[in-house]
Chains A and B, each alone.
Chain A
Amino acid sequence: GAVVSQHPSWVICKSGTSVKIECRSLDFQATTMFWYRQFPKQSLMLMATSNEGSKATYEQGVEKDKFLINHASLTLSTLTVTSAHPEDSSFYICSARQGGNSPLHFGNGTRLTVT
């Protein structure tokens, strides 16, 4: 149980375009999902907390107008990278918790390359 699916697994886009990444909890409902970003040989950095039916909470330094988060249902959160630039190239990972004190379960990540 507690499977988190993330799509696409990789995407290449041109500078100035937007990219949408989907995160789904397949066998449980998640009122809260988390979006992380990971640079090579670095730790996972929390970008934002996605709350079902309300606005996301962004970490300090993360531009909310660039990284749009929508959590429209209890099983789906999306991250849209708007007007992408090469510096946005990174590994983006979503996660969700089944509830209570259960651990976070992660999707398999999306490798974004902006050319």
Chain B
Amino acid sequence: EDQVTQSPEALRLQEGESSSLNCSYTVSGLRGLFWYRQDPGKGPEFLFTLYSAGEEKEKERLKATLTKKESFLHITAPKPEDSATYLCAVHDSNSGYALNFGKGTSLLVTP
């Protein structure tokens, strides 16, 4: 049973076209939900941690929100350099300190 499901699998946007990525999760006890950015051939780069429903975090053109069942990563007026794969991961009470990752959303922003 998948614990973390991300959608869409791939997304193509024009520069300046805002959109949202979704991460739905099913865990017994959420300790934290994490968003990472991964560029091709690189390790994931940390973006945000969210701990409780209603929490929001912002960084430049990115804003992450959290409910009891899902998280959204909102991208406002994206630029080509925002093109990457965005990974969602959860830390639950049964997984020690490890994170369970979704498959990611591959974002392409065209000029």
Count of B interface residues, CB-CB < 8 Å: 25
B residues 26-77 in Cβ contact with A at 8 Å: 31-32, 34, 36, 41-46, 49, 51
A38-80 to B contact mask, C-beta < 8 Å, 1/0: 0001111010010000000000000000000000000000000
Q: Does A25 contact B (CB under 8 A)?
A: no
Q: A41-B103, A43-B103, A103-B34 are in contact. Are A34 and B43 (CB under 8 A)?
A: no
Q: Is the CB of B103 within 8 A of A105?
A: no
Q: Is the CB of B43 within 8 A of A108?
A: yes
Q: A103-B49, A104-B34 are in contact. Are A109 and B104 (CB under 8 A)?
A: no
Q: Is the CB of A109 within 8 A of B98?
A: no
Q: In the complex, A43→B75 CA distance in Å?
A: 21
Q: Is the CB of B46 within 8 A of A44?
A: no
Q: What are 15 of the A-B contact pairs (CB < 8 Å)?
A: A6-B43, A32-B97, A34-B97, A41-B106, A42-B103, A43-B101, A43-B103, A44-B101, A93-B44, A101-B32, A101-B51, A106-B43, A106-B44, A109-B42, A109-B43
